[in-house]
A and B are shown apart, each in its own frame.
Chain A
């Protein structure tokens, strides 16, 4: 198992290097010069030149790339054009908010999705299963901003049950902070859960149906294992292997979904920050956000792979025998 982890971490490192390199290029290939955001009519060509030098934009591309990597190694993500602060300092608190939102949504999605998928598979073709299948189609095809606006309209504006947006009320006292944040989290969390639940249910259901047809399920029944033992003891772990893999792939999509969700609900996370950074042409901030998100997604994929290896002994043993 140890060798598998080392190998997998090295792969993750390479993926990260590729991701930051692409980010570096994308930002520099975008239309418009970053300096134009700063330049005002009163600036002399000397001022522009000085600005370019200070941002390191006068150097050839390979040299810029080397500098970029060196700074990255020291966790230096540059200075935000708009906030005039180190990018890291701006992103760090916002990343916390995003992780809180995504983490909670993911947990709830799995806690509801897996049992629902299992239940639906066990009662294939019956009422419950058909209701779930309908839900899957709706969930997959729903457009996040539409769902978010409907939720805000019904629960915040019409019923006044939940706050319209933000993560906490500005005047909240420290003692009530947690419950206030929880209240603010309800709608964005529901949005993300609805969007992602369908995938989890779908995969759990279909892999459960496949697994239940396997010979080893019949073997288990032949031993006298009861229905519950067959489902939870023999089928679920096998069925979870594809489901966990899909969850890993879903994380990237969840981050993308978070940009939309956070923007609609003014959630102070990385997603809404990206939206602002694009509008303000704040390239260092955008670049920093991409890098941090790439890192989070790669890290979460790594965790997923380790979970899959733990679930499926064939994977880690294969890795050990081919080293």
Chain B
């Protein structure tokens, strides 16, 4: 996938390959701007108009979503695949009541429901996502709700039809600490009920440790490491993953300065050949920038894209 700008397409995401297993939670981790959100939006086929999908396929229950028509996608969105966005403040329509916005999901995907049935289902759903006085809240507007409540409304909207896959794009980033934990607990609870899977996008490794089964680490538009949560936290293979883990403040740790990875994520215009992390890497060899490192399995189900720690061979 890339971005079109003045007839020139900047490649943004490539070699992105991951799978969400049924009934599990996949964490997608990476710094801001590494393409996590774009990956989720491309699953929904809701990429901004400047974005161009250059190739590849997105398989959902064996069918390629990229080959679907817009009308087919409209049936899938909100019913089979739903999404929760980062900004609950701006993601709700200010001129419609929250009840109407949730009810709309039923109106589209459960057209057999009558108006009263829809309202009852909406109120029940609001109660389920932990909103007090759902009957009354149903007729309120988003600006009358707190940030946490707005995100609960967003979640209610997303899970209304019991989607098989829930894409959660940093659902807790805009919320304060205590609410974060509640919202994450809620999402897991709902997942248990619907037997669906979640793709949780975050830059917070703490959130990943608490919620996910599998993890994909992304850097600058590519997957650099993937594995189960145990693999990633206990034997991180990629230098970037190690850096991320080292920059988590620890209660037991020494009081010295917190580790941080030097430099910043490059923008799509300034991607270098070879390994994109190489310029910031402490284990960098001169051959790292020659070719893109392939994903290499270092243990069953645990793969790393690194010339130094992964493949054991040189390009």
Contacts and interface: CB of A to CB of B under 8 A. Distances in A.
Tell whether A pairs with B: yes
Interface string B86-105: 01001111111000010011
A22 B108 CA distance: 57
B85 A317 contact: no
B137 to A, nearest CB: 14
B94 A216 contact: yes
Contacts of B138: none
Interface string A195-234: 0000000000000000000111011111111110100011
A214 B70 CA distance: 20
Nearest to A222: B83
A266 interface: no
16 contacts: A216-B90, A216-B92, A218-B85, A219-B92, A219-B93, A220-B93, A221-B77, A222-B83, A223-B78, A224-B76, A224-B79, A224-B108, A238-B95, A313-B143, A317-B141, A317-B144
Which 4 A-B pairs rank lowest in CB-CB distance, beginning with the nearest?
A224-B78, A223-B78, A224-B77, A215-B90
Contacts of A218: 46, 85, 91
A219 B95 contact: no
Contacts of B109: 224
Nearest to B160: A223
A215 B95 contact: no
B85 A313 contact: no
Contacts of A223: 77-78, 82, 104-105, 108, 157
Contact of B91 (A216, A226, A233, A238): A216
Contacts of A214: 90
A312 interface: yes
Nearest to A318: B143
Nearest to A124: B49
A84 interface: no
Given A216-B94, A223-B108, A226-B71, 18 more contacts: A218-B91, A219-B85, A219-B157, A222-B44, A222-B77, A222-B82, A222-B83, A222-B85, A222-B158, A223-B82, A224-B76, A224-B78, A233-B104, A234-B96, A238-B95, A312-B94, A314-B94, A317-B143
B291 interface: no
Most chain B CB neighbours (cut-off 10 Å) among A224, A225, A233, A317:
A224
B94 A215 contact: no
B29 interface: no
A311 interface: yes
Contact of B93 (A224, A227, A238, A317): A238
B94 A238 contact: yes
Given A215-B87, A313-B141, A224 B105 contact: yes
Most chain A CB neighbours (cut-off 10 Å) among B46, B91, B109, B158:
B91
A237 B100 CA distance: 14
A214 B91 CA distance: 8
B154 interface: yes
Contact of B141 (A227, A237, A314): A314
Contact of A215 (B70, B91, B143): B91
A315 B210 CA distance: 42
B272 interface: no
Given A224-B77, A313-B141, A219 B91 contact: yes
Contacts of B87: 215
Contacts of B154: 219
Contact of B46 (A222, A227, A234, A311): A222
Interface residues of B, number: 32
Interface string B226-262: 0000000000000000000000000000000000000
Interface residues of A, number: 23
A224 B71 CA distance: 9
Contacts of A221: 44, 46, 77
A221 B82 CA distance: 10
A70 B295 CA distance: 90
B147 to A, nearest CB: 14
B75 interface: yes
A257 B245 CA distance: 69
Interface in B22-76: 44, 46, 70-71, 74-76
A237 to B, nearest CB: 5
Nearest to A235: B93
Contacts of A237: 95-96
A88 B201 CA distance: 71
Nearest to B108: A224
A244 B91 CA distance: 24
A313 to B, nearest CB: 5
A292 B108 CA distance: 51
A224 B74 contact: yes
A313 B93 CA distance: 11
A285 to B, nearest CB: 45
A218 B70 CA distance: 15
A125 to B, nearest CB: 11
A103 B141 CA distance: 34
B149 to A, nearest CB: 16
Contacts of A234: 93, 96
A216 B46 contact: no
B250 to A, nearest CB: 35
